[in-house]
Structure 1
Amino acid sequence: MTDAPLGRSAAYKVLTTGYVGSTGPGVAATVSYVSDAGRHVIFDPGMVASTDDILAPLAELGLGPDDITDVVLSHHHPDNTMNVGLFRRAAVHDHKVEYRGDQWKNRDAEGYELTPSLRLIRTPGHSPEDITLLAGTESGVVAFAGDLWWHAEGPADDPVAPDREVLRTSRERVLAAADLVVPGHGAPFEPAAGTPR
């Protein structure tokens, strides 16, 4: 049985493609916008050089911060969450809670559907609280996987992962459902035989 959502009506745009500096301290998150059934979702509004790197491409879609209904955080590392406060009207989703204003609702992310085309699943590995947003689109399932992969090359052995086997299991789960993976700090990639597991 696949984790893929049944719906195929979601659309998405990568607002900014992240990076990880190989020799320096620079890092930026890949920040994405996903829409379906009246929901306007931002995935991982993390560190970027300027908030304009998030807001300008969003404005090109005719949207401002207050139009965003939901923010999904793949995990709680600051490089993936730094700009969540831009979207003050949105419900914020993590691995176990939905937050809005000064309220929260406990709920497990595993299998939680924002819409029939947008499903959250637990994918621990990079951290214990990692989740992935699976979006059913016309062209297939897109997995917004946070730092399960930093970029298409992995890293194969994530130096932050507390348990390599847990990471591998979550990567396999995502690859079984996804036609395209949006990693935490790089461009989207199509899974292939060489994709790190």
Structure 2
Amino acid sequence: MWQLYPLNFGEWPEFELSRFLYNKGFGEKIRAIATGFLAVDGDRAVLIDAGIYDEDRALSDHDQWVVGTGPGQVRTELARYDLEPEDITDVVLTHLHWDHAANVPLFTRAQVHIQDDEIEYAENPLPPHQVSFDHGLSRPAPWTLVRDRINTLHGDTELFPGMTAYHLPGHTPGSQGIKISTAKQSYLLAGDNVDLQANWDGDEHLRHRPGMVYVDMRDYWASLLRMESLADVIVPSHDPSVFDREVY
């Protein structure tokens, strides 16, 4: 049976809240986490999302101030569970934005699981989205360095018993949520369709409050509604509250 551990791959100390909450939070700053998840079942160790660039590249390529990030932080977090990147059997990427896929080349023995719609879009994103996908920059997008190990998914796919990838477009065309069933509950790792718990909880105006970064709001809203029936607990991708628990 799966056990699920949140991994802290670094943070934005002062992130603009309005980027996470559609038409709310303008001018408010919050602490946001670059979250990964380690799922372990027997000898299989699966990483969901691979973390963010080091501080220098995040600033130079993406004009974002982050701290405690990069490959060293990934290794540090895995070492808490007596693991090294070479011990990871599989990497599942919720999407191909730079803050989720930056360190995927570290995992030299892992198969990498990505939706085909995500790869198609990442290869030729619209101009406003190109930087987020590391498209057209001086260095190649990290996922392109592991093409020979990519398992391309075509919609909802059972990856392993007790772990299923659901195609949930909206934030990006190939965004996917990863459902993991543990002994007590099932969890859906929602990727950036749900950045914060506040996105999922909604408010007096909206059942769920989407984020401000998306490709198609119709798809996004449909995916949020679909998620209601997919798992017992929806887990956001950037909320510090994820670390209120050491194991799920």
Give the AA of the match of 1:44: D
Cross-structure match for 1:83: 103
**Unaligned stretches of 5+ residues in structure 2:** 17-27, 54-67, 120-143, 201-208, 244-248
Q: CA deviation at 1:141?
A: 0.8
After TM superposition, the structure 1 stretch with the greater mean CA deviation from structure 2, 77-86 or 99-108, is: 99-108
Q: CA deviation at 1:95?
A: 0.5
Cross-structure match for 2:231: 178
Picking from 84, 95, 102, the partner of 1:64 is 84
> Larger radius of gyration, structure 1 or 2?
2
SS across alignment from 1:58: helix
Confirm or deny that 1:133 pairs with 2:178: yes
In the aligned structure 2, how far is the partner of 1:54 from the partner of 1:105? 20
Q: Structure 2 vs 1, CA of residues 147 and 19 (structure 1 numbering), >3 Å: closer, same or farther?
A: farther
SS across alignment from 2:198: coil
> Which structure dedicates a bigger proportion of its chain to helix?
2
| Equivalent residues of 2:9, 2:77 under 8 A apart | no
Picking from 163, 178, 195, the partner of 1:150 is 195
Give the AA of the match of 1:131: Q
Q: CA deviation at 1:46?
A: 2.1
- Report percent identity of matched pairs: 30
For 1:94-173, what aligned pairs fall within 5 Å after superposition? 94-96=114-116, 103=148, 107-154=152-199, 156-173=209-226
SS across alignment from 1:110: coil
Q: Structure 2 vs 1, CA of residues 138 and 152 (structure 1 numbering), >3 Å: closer, same or farther?
A: same
After TM superposition, the structure 1 stretch with the greater mean CA deviation from structure 2, 115-124 or 177-186, is: 177-186
SS across alignment from 1:94: strand
| Equivalent residues of 2:210, 2:221 under 8 A apart | no
| Equivalent residues of 1:109, 1:121 under 8 A apart | no
| TM-score of the superposed pair, with normalisation by structure 1 | 0.79
> Which structure dedicates a bigger proportion of its chain to strand?
1
Q: Structure 2 vs 1, CA of residues 106 and 52 (structure 1 numbering), >3 Å: closer, same or farther?
A: closer
In the aligned structure 2, how far is the partner of 1:132 from the partner of 1:181? 9
**Unaligned stretches of 5+ residues in structure 1:** 1-8, 190-197
In the aligned structure 2, how far is the partner of 1:41 from the partner of 1:129? 20
| Equivalent residues of 2:9, 2:74 under 8 A apart | no
**1:44-70 per-position Cα deviation (integer Å, ceiling 9, x unaligned):** 112163334332231121111100000
| Equivalent residues of 2:170, 2:216 under 8 A apart | yes
